[in-house]
Amino acid sequence: QVRLVESGGGVVQPGRSLRLSCAASGFTFSSFAMHWVRQAPGRGLKWVAVISYDGFNTYYADSVKGRFTISRDDSKNTLYLQMNSLRAEDMAVYYCARKQQLVYAMDVWGQGTTVTVSS
Amino acid sequence: EIVLTQSPGTLSLSPGERATLSCRASQSVTSNYLAWYQQKPGQAPRLLIYDASSRATGIPDRFSGSGSGTDFTLTISRLEPEDFAVYYCQQYGSSLYTFGQGTKLEIK
């Protein structure tokens, strides 16, 4: 079945880096744009970044632009989020999500991976 | 950046009642690219509605979306026990996406 599984979360000090991964299965990964969305503890959803199906186009929320990089490896059916210069406000559950084709919505979500930023 | 404001913050209703949730945009949403999601505690969000009024695959027809421009509504015609959750709207425009702050639908 269609599935997204995030990994790579953990505890990291402010200013350090972390890379998240999202393994996709059950669908043709290379045909879909993909998102990262985060949710701080007890808070709402915040969109982080999107990458086009071919990896040529990436877009970011202002809050992470210049610090985070979204990328993909279609040979491994995996989406990545490289997070640099982490701040306390980056602490959240990070979800990867599939962009539904021809539609600007997210139709498949992973279960999330938790990033804790603390000294 | 388009800001989405959802109201009310919390809605208290009983099973069987009708729920009406609002999402207002700070400027017109491009081509009504407005989606609604449901999130239960400890779970990932689930897509309910896209393009303002189209139901996602497998979503019961008691869920409906309406609206255009800056004002959008999610209606649940008759609440089932499993419908009590947090609901988010989300829009797309100028290559960027934003979510509303959410409406919590709780059992009265």
Q: What is the pLDDT of residues B36-91, one digit of tens each?
A: 999 999 999 999 999 999 999 999 999 999 999 999 999 999 999 999 999 999 99
- Taking an 8 Å cut-off on Cβ atoms, the answer to whether A45 and B99 are in contact is yes
Q: How confident is the model at residue A94 (pLDDT cuts 50, 70, 90)?
A: very high
Tell me the average pLDDT across A32-44: 98
Q: pLDDT-derived band of residue A36, with 50, 70 and 90 as boundaries? A: very high
What pLDDT sits at residue B57? 96
Among chain A residues, the shortest Cα distance to B54 is held by A103
User: Which residues from chain B sit within 8 angstroms of residue A46, using beta carbons?
Assistant: 99
Secondary structure of chain A in the HEC alphabet? CCEEEEECCEEECCCCCEEEEEEEECCCHHHCCEEEEEECCCCCEEEEEEECCCCCCEEECCCCCCCEEEEEECCCCEEEEEECCCCHHHCEEEEEEEECCCCCCEEEECCCEEEEECC
Residues in A whose CB is inside 8 Å of some CB of B read 35, 37, 44-47, 50, 57, 59, 61-62, 95, 97, 100, 103-107, 109-112
Q: Which whole number is the average pLDDT over A48-58? A: 97
**pLDDT score, position A15:** 98
Query: What integer best gives the mean pLDDT of chain A?
Result: 98
Cα–Cα dist A55/B71, whole Å: 34
